Amino acid sequence: MNAETAPIVFRPMRPDDYPAMIGLMRRAPGVSVREADTPEGLGRFLARNPGLGFVAERDGRLVGCLMAGHDGRRGHLHHLTVDAGCRRRGLALALVERCLAALEREGIHKTHIDVYRDNAPGNGFWQAAGWTRRDDTHRFSIVRGGGENA
């Protein structure tokens, strides 16, 4: 079996996925890698949200990732990315399903994702996945104690 036909394997995200994840995300327009996206940052996020994020692997190579967490009230997803060679095969849908099921097991029934307005694939995906685009809210943000790209 060659790498092209090898099955896709999904598993919970681990801190040591960082190098492969950051490479995948940096290659994807629409995913904004920030100062928060350090190895320590991923480790901290996973320690606070164990078992909620997932990756997809093919032939031992990381080809998809989705970070998921919650604050005790709402779920939040970050950095959904699928390798360009593996798109339109349902990988993103499968990652989202795993994350939402894990959040649901923790009693979290409403989850948010930020998508850049000019990210056509991203917007197309979330719409197709059945998510409701919010036009009734604005997101306000502040940076305090970090760099401009915090």
Please identify which residue in 15, 23, 124, 146 interacts with ligand COA, judged by CB under 6 A: 124
Nearest residue (CB) to ligand COA, 72 versus 99: 99
Subset of 44-103 contacting ligand COA (CB under 6 A): 80-82, 87-93
Binding to ligand COA by residue 13, rule CB under 6 A? Answer: no
Give φ, ψ of 8 to 5 degrees: -85, 130
Distances (CA, A) of 73 to 6, 25, 70, 93, 108: 38, 27, 7, 23, 6
- Nearest CA to 7 out of 53, 82, 57, 55 is that of 57
Subset of 17-46 contacting ligand COA (CB under 6 A): 28, 30-31
Contacting positions for ligand COA (CB under 6 A): 28, 30-31, 80-82, 87-93, 113, 115, 119, 121-122, 124-125, 128
